[in-house]
Amino acid sequence: MAGVFVLVLCAAILFSGVLAVAMGRVLPALIAAGLASLFASVVYLLLAAPDVAMAEAAIGAGLSTFVFLYALRKTGGGDDGAGGAGRGSDGGRS
């Protein structure tokens, strides 16, 4: 039964990773990447590697997500201009 749960979590890791890459905005992609790391830490815990699970949860899901969120906040909130390609500095109003 635990093997099936591990496989489901591995599928969730893959789905979250693909979702993080396919997202058009930065903040939802960051959240999806954090979820992939959180799912990975649960898999490590189920595979009897609690030390690796704690490190993945603390660094992968926790610290790196926090650092990226902080960087987004400091650089303008993640408005990466997706969908606005080809516009000048005036926002396409000229």
pTM: 0.73
What's residue 13's pLDDT? 94
Q: What range defines the domain where residue 19 resides?
A: 2-75
Q: What secondary structure does DSSP assign to the chain, as a single string?
A: -HHHHHHHHHHHHHHHHHHHHH-SSHHHHHHHHHHHHHHHHHHHHHTT-HHHHHHIIIIIIIIHHHHHHHHHHHHTTT---TT-TT--TT-S--
pLDDT digits (tens, 9 = 90+) for 33-84: 999 999 999 999 999 999 999 999 999 888 998 999 899 888 887 565 554 4
Domain-embedded: residue 63:
yes
Tally of structural domains, the chain: 1
What's residue 40's pLDDT? 93
Q: Are 33 and 20 in contact (CB under 8 A)?
A: yes
Domain-embedded: residue 91:
no
Domain-embedded: residue 89:
no
What's residue 51's pLDDT? 94
Domain-embedded: residue 16:
yes
